[in-house]
């Protein structure tokens, strides 16, 4: 049995770092193992201009003194985003991608896009400049069941956008369904998908059976087991269109353990050990390095990291912190519900 793994230092292609006291408390959890991360712009208010992205990048750097962690910034697309500002922010190296939230789809998405035609000038500018568009792929219509919102988004919104702008490079973020896996597989170029750590581990029973478990509630919500299995198959298949984006999304416990729980799972602390366990159980440990260290960088046109991360396997289960204390309150660390034998070693 494999006892040690030496991996390309991983990148996280979808991460929430928040701001202020929460940022200071949780940023080190990602910077410890990851070299770079695509930073989500859904702050309150959202990051909508290049100037705001640059200032946020500096606050992240200030939260990580002495760290070489590189935040890859994104802009939050609104119906009034100026394509010129996006192109300028990309040319000056401030942003790596633009993020599309359908209005109301998830945490802090009120300023997102309602009428996708209004975003067409930005889509065309992104396509021409080769800037990737990160997409939260869920419709928000009241009459669409929450478990169907991703599949319906593909048909009603994503596919029409991609047909109208074929050169647009799209990342379907945090995919949760076999429908999304098949949609990505049906396109040779220009389309990738991130898969989270937690969606490889939980299905909807984890959230709902035996009482509601708020720390498993995230968006897109975890689906049936058949979908989880499709995600594991995609992540461990060695297909370069699928790569890691943890969507680690911290909320303080008071926001999770209440009558209207915020959406988000926090996995930054132990994502690499959890993934090693998942890939080992799938008999695909040899595919982990590319999933966490190669394919995302390749899709984004970034050089792969030339540093390494080492993991070691022990016979005894590894104990991880249950909570991370931050100045904005404690954050519960995702509980995979099974023993994990892997840990990162220096």
d(CA 69, CA 51): 21
User: Smallest distance from the beta carbon of 106 to Zn ion, in angstroms?
Assistant: 7
At how many degrees (to 10) do helices 83-91 and 120-129 cross?
30
**Does residue 247 interact with Zn ion by CB under 5 A?**
yes
User: Smallest distance from the beta carbon of 22 to ligand NCD, in angstroms?
Assistant: 11
Q: Which of 261, 263, 282, 302 binds ligand NCD (CB under 6 A)?
A: 263
Cα pseudo-dihedral 140, 134, 326, 67, rounded to 10: 180
Please name which of 19, 6, 37 lies closest in space to residue 268, comparing C-alpha atoms: 37
Please name which of 187, 195, 186 lies closest in space to residue 223, comparing C-alpha atoms: 195
Footprint of ligand NCD on residues 200-219 (CB under 6 A)?
A: 218-219
Stretch that binds Zn ion, among 24-32, 159-167, 247-255, 314-322 (CB under 5 A): 247-255
Q: Which of 24, 30, 42, 267 binds ligand NCD (CB under 6 A)?
A: 42
247 catalytic? Reply is yes
d(CA 335, CA 327): 22
- Contact between 293 and 9 under an 8 Å Cβ cutoff? The reply is yes
User: Smallest distance from the beta carbon of 336 to ligand NCD, in angstroms?
Assistant: 17
**Does residue 106 interact with ligand NCD by CB under 6 A?**
yes
**Does residue 16 interact with ligand NCD by CB under 6 A?**
yes
Pick from Zn ion, ligand NCD, none: which does 42 bind, CB < 5 to 8 A by kind? Answer: ligand NCD
Number of residues lying near Zn ion (CB under 5 A): 1
Binding to ligand NCD by CB under 6 A, coded x per residue (else -) over 48-87, reads: ----------------------------------------
Pick from ligand NCD, Zn ion, none: which does 57 bind, CB < 5 to 8 A by kind? Answer: none
For strand 191-195 and strand 242-244, is the pairing parallel, antiparallel, or unpaired? parallel
- Closest to Zn ion by CB, 5 or 195: 195
The distance from CA 135 to its chain's CA centroid, rounded to whole angstroms, is 10
Q: Residue 98 to residues 52, 77, 87, 171, 227: CA-CA distances in angstroms?
A: 13, 7, 10, 10, 27
- Contact between 307 and 9 under an 8 Å Cβ cutoff? The reply is yes
User: Smallest distance from the beta carbon of 173 to ligand NCD, in angstroms?
Assistant: 7
The single residue of 11, 33, 179, 247 carrying the catalytic annotation is 247
Pick from ligand NCD, Zn ion, none: which does 88 bind, CB < 5 to 8 A by kind? Answer: none
At how many degrees (to 10) do helices 50-63 and 20-31 cross?
70
Residues that bind ligand NCD (CB under 6 A): 16, 42, 106-107, 136, 218-219, 247, 249, 263-264
Tell me the catalytic residues.
247
**Where do contacts with Zn ion occur on this chain (CB under 5 A)?**
247
């Amino acid at each position: 049995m494999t006892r040690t793994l030496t991996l390309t230092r991983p990148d996280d292609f979808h991460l929430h770092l928040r701001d202020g006291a929460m940022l200071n408390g949780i940023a080190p959890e990602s910077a410890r193992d990851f070299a770079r991360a695509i930073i989500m712009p859904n702050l309150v208010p959202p990051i909508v201009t290049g100037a705001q992205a640059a200032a946020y990048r500096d606050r992240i750097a200030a939260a990580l003194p002495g760290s070489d962690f590189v935040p890859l910034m994104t802009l939050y697309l609104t119906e009034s985003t100026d394509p010129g500002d996006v192109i300028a922010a990309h040319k000056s190296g401030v942003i790596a991608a633009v993020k599309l939230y359908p209005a109301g789809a998830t945490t802090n998405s009120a300023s997102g896009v309602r009428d996708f035609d209004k975003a067409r000038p930005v889509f065309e500018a992104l396509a021409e400049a080769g800037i990737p568009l990160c997409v939260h792929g869920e419709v928000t219509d009241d009459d669409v069941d929450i478990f169907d919102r991703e599949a319906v988004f593909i048909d009603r919104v994503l596919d029409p956008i991609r047909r109208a702008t074929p050169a647009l490079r799209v990342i379907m973020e945090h995919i949760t369904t076999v429908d999304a896996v098949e949609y990505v597989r049906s396109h040779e170029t220009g389309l990738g998908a991130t898969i989270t750590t937690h969606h490889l581990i939980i299905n909807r029973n984890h959230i709902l059976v035996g009482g509601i478990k708020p720390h498993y509630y995230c968006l897109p919500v975890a689906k049936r087991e058949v979908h989880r299995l499709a995600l594991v198959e995609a992540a461990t298949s060695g297909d370069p269109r699928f790569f890691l984006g943890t969507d680690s999304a911290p909320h303080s416990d008071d926001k999770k353990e209440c009558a209207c729980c915020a959406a988000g799972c926090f996995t930054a602390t132990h994502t690499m050990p959890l993934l090693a366990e998942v890939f080992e159980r799938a008999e695909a440990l040899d595919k982990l390095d590319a999933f966490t260290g190669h394919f995302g960088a390749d899709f984004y046109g970034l050089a792969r990291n030339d540093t390494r991360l080492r993991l070691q396997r022990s016979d005894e289960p590894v104990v991880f912190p249950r909570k991370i204390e931050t100045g904005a309150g404690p954050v519960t660390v995702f509980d995979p519900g099974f023993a994990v034998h892997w840990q990162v070693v220096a």
